Chains A and B, each alone.
Chain A
Amino acid sequence: MSGLVFLIPVALLMGFAGLAAFLWSVRSGQFDDPDGAAHRILISPDEPLPERKPVRD
């Protein structure tokens, strides 16, 4: 039973860490544009392809 003395605080701390991360993400506007965020990850910057050396076989 003495394990509870530190197991419960550990559990609560982990919960708090999750909650803090959630609060931070809401406040920093990460939930303001769920549709855009879903698409933004798929956008790659449009740059010219690096030149490739001709492959010889």
Chain B
Amino acid sequence: MSEAVLDPAGCPSGLAPPSAAETSDPSAFVRKLGRQSRLSLTVRGAKCGGCLSRIEGAVSTLPGVESARLNLSNGRLDVAWSGSLEARWIVDAVSGLGYGVAPLDTAADDDAHKKEERSLLLAMGVAGFATANIMLLSVSVWGGHGEMGEATRQGLHALSGVIALPTLIYSGRPFFQSAWNVLKKKRTNMDVPISLALILAFSVSVSETIRGGPHAYFDAACMLLFFLLIGRFLDARVRRRAWSAARDLAALGSRTVTRLGADGRPQSVRSEDIRPGDQILLAPGERAVVDMMVEGGESEVDESLVTGESLPRWTGAGMKLMAGSINLSQPLTGRATAAAADSLLAEISQMLSAGEQKRSTYRQIADKAVSLYVPIVHSTALLTFLGWWLIGDIGLRDSILIAVATLIITCPCALALAAPVVQVVAAGRLFKGGAYLKSGDALERLAACDHIIFDKTGTLTLGTPRLVSGTDVATLSEAAQLARASRHPLSRALTVAAGPGALAKDVKEYPGLGLEGEVNGVSCRLGSAEWTGAQASGHTGATLFFVRGDAPPVEFRFEDDIQEDAGQTVAALTRMGLTMEIVSGDRPEAVGEVARKLDIRCWTASASPQDKVRRLEELQGQGRKVLMIGDGLNDAGALALAHASAAPGGALDVSQSASDAVYSGGLAPLPRLMKTARLAKTVMVQNFAFAAIYNVIAVPIAILGHATPLVAAIAMSGSSLIVCVNALRINLTREKQA
């Protein structure tokens, strides 16, 4: 951890892991405004104030930058500069700090969600103001009961009405509009009884005020609006978070590609502009955005995100390269075989949206509660009115008054707050524990899961090889002198084991074979068995051989380590009654090894993305509710289709977008995620049960005609408070240490 202390890459608080620097030229996304240039970037992994000052600080020191502002809530960095600053320097400055960064196409960046959230916030503020002021007047009416003169009371009621009318029109719009829209389609939703109660309460109060009656429900109408808008606002916030994750997916697609013109000059263009047949240059470290056929150059390609294979593959002329692969050693040229929209990446995006559509048919508990609620409330209010009018014999006016009081008191304040408050509290608690939720109904779906499918590489294992064979220090340091010249994961692992040191002279890299160079005047080779003339050993993991001059080859063995806390996590999840299996795209030996160590009986190796989806469908066909956990592009389809899904923070953007939750800091947050989800579901059910009990008690009081405005105010605010306090209980329950 010593390097982390010196210069931590990525978020200094450790809330998010550092992202690998990837190169992509953003100059195609720069907008010109007079002599000022602007660029919007989406930054991944920025989670705390330290990130904020580091990123803004690094960007503002670039020459010509006039402003750099990072929005920590949605990860958007807006930069404005003048002069000859190149856009890619900005990207390099941010990615050099260890954050993932992608240019954002502001044309596609639709701010509809932000507008909705803002208008709800404004409506909530207005309703809050009106509630407070009308309550001020109402309390004096209630307090002066019996002593206050009729004229004064009427005056106070009238004043309340004057405040309530514009509030109703302004803050009630979201409900009225939604109710009108569904009524036009001859259907009904929760907003219909809400709108009806609001309008009836207001009109009855106006007529009572004009007549000089004792009761007006202006305060109840405004309070109702206020509580409902709080619930609506929280709900909109949760949904906007989910949406911004989807926007990141779009940003991934809006990468740029280096196209070689007819004269062989490289030019940076947007990936959408690539047509099949275009010649493309793929620099080392760059990720392919379109499927391509390699024509020139030899290199090694990391396909772990596409296939799950943990070792790089040699690639040369005539081989196909899938979008999402990362070029490791030498520049490659090739021709695009498909436009970006038809590439593997886009295909997987389609699998995602298909899965998400399936998932959106999931009905939340809240929806179920509402479908029961609406008819019951309407028929109760109608029966109350008819009962008092026809049987009770108290006249039309009083019957209407009692029916309206019933409608107001049954209005779903507690119901509207029951789910959103729980979601917000649970999400906040999970965030502190290193996991964040991406959709509101994720908690309910997570809570229902009874089976977990793990991906192997990068999920159960660290995804990076580690040197395990004990070789003497001298040989290791010599081999490391060669290895420092390469980007190959095994070379890097060797370098990590050897620590800092010198670089060998004249190192040449032969893709697919190994490295050659001069160490202390002796020609040495580092690479595969055939490259060094060694005998392949029986090691199941990856191996490297090192030959110094004519000496016999030395073997270096590597293993992809299992995450430190994987064993504990699997045990904890088993105790919670979950069954587990591994489905990986890696070789059978590697998968079997991990499965044996973690004591997971059921595993599948060499699974293609389609195999993963098929296995998932098979399990779901048996009625299992599956939680999918994976990090690669090859998992994305399964992540989107599963009943619920989670991805580690180091996962590819597209996988993070496809999953319901993203966790960081090893596997430890997983049991906590499941526990919190189950607790949240329990609390939600309790809240709905409470809302039901509340109605069982309050409705008879209202039907019997005892629901005065004072009773309504106490009942409504009391029930809303209890629901909120119950939700806060999630924060109080302490984690049992396993």
Q: Which residues of A contact B (CB under 8 A)?
A: 1, 4, 8, 11-12, 15-16, 18-19, 22-23, 26, 31-36, 38-40, 42-43, 46
Contacts and interface: CB of A to CB of B under 8 A. Distances in A.
22 contacts: A1-B152, A4-B152, A11-B136, A12-B133, A12-B163, A15-B132, A16-B129, A19-B125, A26-B118, A26-B121, A26-B122, A26-B125, A31-B118, A32-B71, A33-B71, A33-B72, A33-B73, A33-B74, A34-B73, A35-B72, A38-B49, A42-B49
B710 interface: no
Contacts of B159: 8
Contacts of A46: 53, 57
Contact of B52 (A16, A31, A32, A36): A36
Contacts, number: 55
B126 interface: yes
A36 B48 contact: no
B126 A19 contact: yes
Nearest to B76: A33
Nearest to A20: B129
Report, as a range, how many residues of chain B touch the other chain.
Answer: 20 to 34
Given A26-B121, A46-B57, A39 B72 contact: yes
A39 B52 contact: yes
Given A4-B152, A38-B49, A40-B52, 18 more contacts: A1-B152, A15-B133, A18-B129, A19-B125, A19-B129, A22-B129, A26-B121, A26-B125, A31-B118, A32-B71, A32-B73, A33-B71, A34-B73, A36-B70, A39-B52, A39-B72, A40-B49, A43-B53
Nearest to B125: A22
Contacts of A1: 152
B534 interface: no
Interface string B541-563: 00000000000000000000000
B71 to A, nearest CB: 4
- The 3 closest A-B CB pairs, nearest first, are A39-B49, A36-B72, A19-B129
Nearest to A39: B49
Interface of B: 48-49, 52-53, 57, 70-74, 114, 118, 121-122, 125-126, 129, 132-133, 136-137, 152, 159, 163
Contacts of A23: 122, 125-126
B147 to A, nearest CB: 11
Contacts of B52: 36, 39-40, 43
B326 to A, nearest CB: 31
Contacts of B48: 39
A46 to B, nearest CB: 7
Contacts of B118: 26, 31
Contacts of A33: 71-74
A30 B417 CA distance: 25
Secondary structure of the B side of the interface? helix
Secondary structure of the A side of the interface? helix
Contacts of A19: 125-126, 129
Contacts of A18: 129
Contact of A36 (B73, B133, B152): B73
Most chain A CB atoms below 10 A, which of B70, B114, B125, B136: B125
B121 A31 contact: yes
Contacts of A15: 129, 132-133
Contacts of B114: 32
A39 B461 CA distance: 34
Nearest to A19: B129
A46 B57 CA distance: 9
A36 B132 contact: no
B129 A8 contact: no
B712 to A, nearest CB: 22
Nearest to A21: B125
Nearest to A1: B152
Contacts of A38: 49
Contacts of B121: 26, 31
A3 to B, nearest CB: 12
Contacts of B73: 32-36
Contacts of A8: 137, 159
Contacts of A31: 118, 121
Nearest to A36: B72
A31 B124 CA distance: 13
Contacts of A12: 133, 163
Given A26-B121, A42-B49, A11 B133 contact: yes
Contacts of A39: 48-49, 52, 72
Contacts of A36: 52, 70-73
A11 B138 CA distance: 14
Contacts of A34: 73
B551 to A, nearest CB: 52
Most chain B CB atoms below 10 A, which of A31, A34, A36: A36
B13 to A, nearest CB: 10
Contacts of A35: 72-73
Nearest to B136: A11
B49 A43 contact: yes
Most chain B CB atoms below 10 A, which of A12, A22, A23, A35: A35
A16 to B, nearest CB: 8
Contacts of B122: 23, 26
A15 B122 CA distance: 15
